[in-house]
Amino acid sequence: MENAPSNRHVSDHLANERTFLAWIRTSIAVMTLGVAINRFSLFLVEIHQVVPEVRQITNRHVEKLGIGLVILGIAMLCGAIGHYLHVGRMIESGSYRPANRLVVGTAILFILMGGTALAWLF
């Protein structure tokens, strides 16, 4: 027979860690998208110099979008670290409560960002 785990919250901590790793993957993806958009903006600048007829006005803020996505990815990672540590402490103390406001607030923020991006595309 195997020995019982010494910590009764092992599965809760492992679930917390999986959630943290998902946030890490998401923040890496957001930062990678930001770098790709930033590099693409350099391509647009270069092609504008070679082919001046290409409209540059619509692509003026693309570089800033890329930088903003990298900053967003870093902010997401910092928030994930804080949330991981906070949830770990709450699990150990037995006082864990879901962060409903944080979840809803994050969803609303991303809905607003998506709506702004959609409006910008049209």
What are the tens digits of pLDDT across the range 110-119?
Answer: 899 888 878 8
Q: What is the mean pLDDT of the chain?
A: 84
Q: Residue 99: what pLDDT? A: 84
Provide the pLDDT confidence category of residue 1 given band limits of 50, 70 and 90: very low
Query: Is position 52 within any domain?
Result: yes
Query: Is position 1 within any domain?
Result: no
Query: Is position 107 within any domain?
Result: no
* 8 Å CB contact between 27 and 80: yes
Query: Is position 63 within any domain?
Result: yes
Q: Residue 62: what pLDDT? A: 76
| Count of domains forming the chain | 1
Q: Residue 110: what pLDDT? A: 85
Which two three-digit tokens encode residue 55? 């409209």
Instruction: Kindly report the pTM of this predicted structure.
Output: 0.75
Give the range of the structural domain holding residue 63, as residue numbers without chain letter.
10-97
Query: Is position 65 within any domain?
Result: yes
